[in-house]
């Protein structure tokens, strides 16, 4: 059995709030990409852990997301930079919410 999965990324920058940065075409085509930003709340995930959420009844159909929340560092912008955590203009840490989207509802 094979499963098709597409990557997604939600984050913010120094000035703009969290928004979907990368999403699968079928979600973008349905014009609901920002739904990923709304359903991926949570705390930082421990190494080796993550979240699973089932999303039903959208314009893109039902899908499952698997994701983690990590702190964004300078290395995420430039692989030669340090491990300093990125912050917004108010000094709040910036997180990266990265994961995969799987079409359909999948059991845990």
In a domain, 68, yes or no: yes
In a domain, 69, yes or no: yes
80 to each of 9, 12, 53, 73, how far by Cα in Å? 22, 21, 34, 11
Residue-averaged pLDDT of the chain:
90
In a domain, 28, yes or no: yes
In a domain, 50, yes or no: yes
Task: Kindly report, residue by residue over 25-73, the tens digit of the pLDDT.
Answer: 999 999 999 999 999 988 999 999 999 999 999 999 999 999 999 999 8
In a domain, 24, yes or no: yes
Using the CB atoms, write b or e for 17-54: b if 16+ within 10 Å.
ebebbebbeebeeeebbebbbebbeeeeeeeeeebeee
Which pair of tokens denotes residue 6? Answer: 């597409």
Percent of the chain with pLDDT over 90: 63
In a domain, 79, yes or no: yes
Domain count, the chain: 1
In a domain, 108, yes or no: no
pLDDT at 108: 54
Range of the domain at 96: 5-103
Residue ranges of E strands in the chain: 5-11, 19-22, 51-58, 61-71, 95-103
In a domain, 46, yes or no: yes
């Amino acid at each position: 059995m094979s499963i098709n999965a597409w990557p997604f990324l939600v984050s913010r920058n120094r000035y703009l709030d969290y928004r979907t940065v990368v999403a699968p075409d079928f979600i973008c085509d349905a014009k609901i990409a920002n739904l990923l930003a709304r359903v991926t709340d949570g705390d930082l995930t421990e190494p080796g852990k993550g979240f699973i959420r089932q999303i039903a009844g959208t314009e893109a159909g039902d899908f499952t997301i698997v994701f983690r929340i990590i702190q964004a560092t300078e290395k995420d912008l430039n692989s030669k930079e340090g491990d300093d955590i990125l912050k917004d203009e108010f000094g709040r840490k910036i997180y990266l919410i990265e994961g995969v989207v799987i079409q359909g509802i999948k059991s845990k």
